[in-house]
Amino acid sequence: MDLPARRSQQRPGLEAHQHPLRLIIPRAIRLLLAFLAAGVASGCTPSPRWERDRLSEAVPAFVAGCAALAYPGTLAPACAAAPLVPPGDEAAARAFFVRYFEPVLAGEGLVTGYYEPVLRVSPVRAPGFTAPLLAMGPAELPRASIEAAVAAGAWPGQVLAWADPVDAFFLQIQGSGRAVFPDGSERRLGYAGKNAHPYVPIGRVLIERGAMAREQVSMDSLRAWLHAAPPGEARALMDTNPSWVFFRWRDDLPPSGGPAGTLGAPLTPGRSVAVDRGHVPLGLPLWIETRHPTEGGRLERLVVAQDTGGAIRGPARADLFWGWGEAAGSAAGRMRETGRIWVLRPR
């Protein structure tokens, strides 16, 4: 069981979320045309059970995504109509999605979760705050080399803040976060870029070593392992992942909203998902059916593709954004379920 690498890490989607939209629009158009030309008849597969969700809660997320699209293409009619749906009107929301979209079953796949961590930081290196959060730097260096260079005094102007090593490691997996300074002030951290090395899940490394069973791997269990291990051993495990994510301050983002996803729209807790944009164009709604990670029972929900992730691969793959703070982290850390996914293609 490997934790997904966040695109909020790939702006280019969990290792993180930054290609200019003008570069991805032509590809998005081709994908949309492929969906429109697909020979999958919606009547041949079970349809989403719309009544299981409050569809009106997904409309604002869809509208936010429309606002971020430089060229909505075949989504243009739906984007023009969505703001006219009365807030909280379930009948109108259902009529909107039925009118403008046709659900196409993408298949059964893995549904995971991610969140925006809140972490304590220090403006200077101090006991307990020994891991640097860096602005964009050399892309050719792996994780261990970057850490060694910073320890030797390289790039002092690139250090945005200092954090606990484990917190900093998982911040890079999530790709964005909220930094809380000793005086109580808070600043948002957003993805700035990454080095040229691939993301390697440390959960997989522990499984291969026989140190942890696959079913035991979760964000909480990996954090516990790293905190319990001797510092040198914990550092060595983290260094098996050569990927490094760089950050930038996002003081332009209001504290009441989510971080910006790959699409450019602020992520909506419980309604935004990261997808493989090689299969699913950003901006499209999806319907997911899976299991709720903390409450149990079914989770059946309309979501919007607004982000990407380094470990999010395939047509039936989704990473659900849960929000920020402890509750969101708990849900995201436990979510790793098989689910069924429909893509809503424009009619």
Model confidence at 32: pLDDT above 60: no
- 231-to-25, 128, 238, 251 alpha-carbon distances in Å: 45, 12, 11, 33
For 230-256, what is each residue's pLDDT tens digit? 989 999 999 999 999 999 999 998 888
pLDDT at 303: 98
Write down the pLDDT at residue 253.
87
pLDDT in tens, 110-160: 999 999 999 999 999 999 999 999 999 889 999 999 999 999 999 889 999
Global pTM value = 0.79
Q: What pLDDT shows up at residue 151?
A: 92
CB hemisphere CA count around 347 (13 angstroms): 11
User: Is 1-18+109-297+308-342 a CATH 2.40.240.50 domain?
Assistant: yes
Separation of alpha carbons 138 and 76, rounded Å? 40
pLDDT above 90 (res 29): no
Mean pLDDT of the 183-197 span: 94
3-state class of 129 per DSSP? strand
Strands of the chain, DSSP E: 6-7, 15-16, 101-116, 118-122, 131-134, 159-163, 177-180, 186-194, 245-249, 272-274, 285-291, 298-307, 318-324, 336-346
Percent of the chain surpassing pLDDT 70: 87
Buried-exposed string 2-15: b where 16+ CB fall within 10 A, e elsewhere: bbbbbbbbbbbbbb
Question: What pLDDT score was predicted for residue 30?
Answer: 55
| pLDDT given at position 40 | 41
- Domain boundary assignment for the chain: 1-18+109-297+308-342, 19-107
Flag the least confident range among 4-18, 57-71, 155-169, 315-329: 4-18
pLDDT above 90 covers a percentage of the chain that reads 73
Name which of 335, 332, 334 is nearest 118 in CA terms: 332
For residues 259-269, give the mean pLDDT: 92
Q: What is the pLDDT of residue 279?
A: 95
Helix (H, G, I), strand (E, B) or coil at 89: coil
φ/ψ (deg, to 5) at 253: -90, 130
Span 82-113, pLDDT tens digits: 999 999 999 999 999 999 999 999 999 999 99
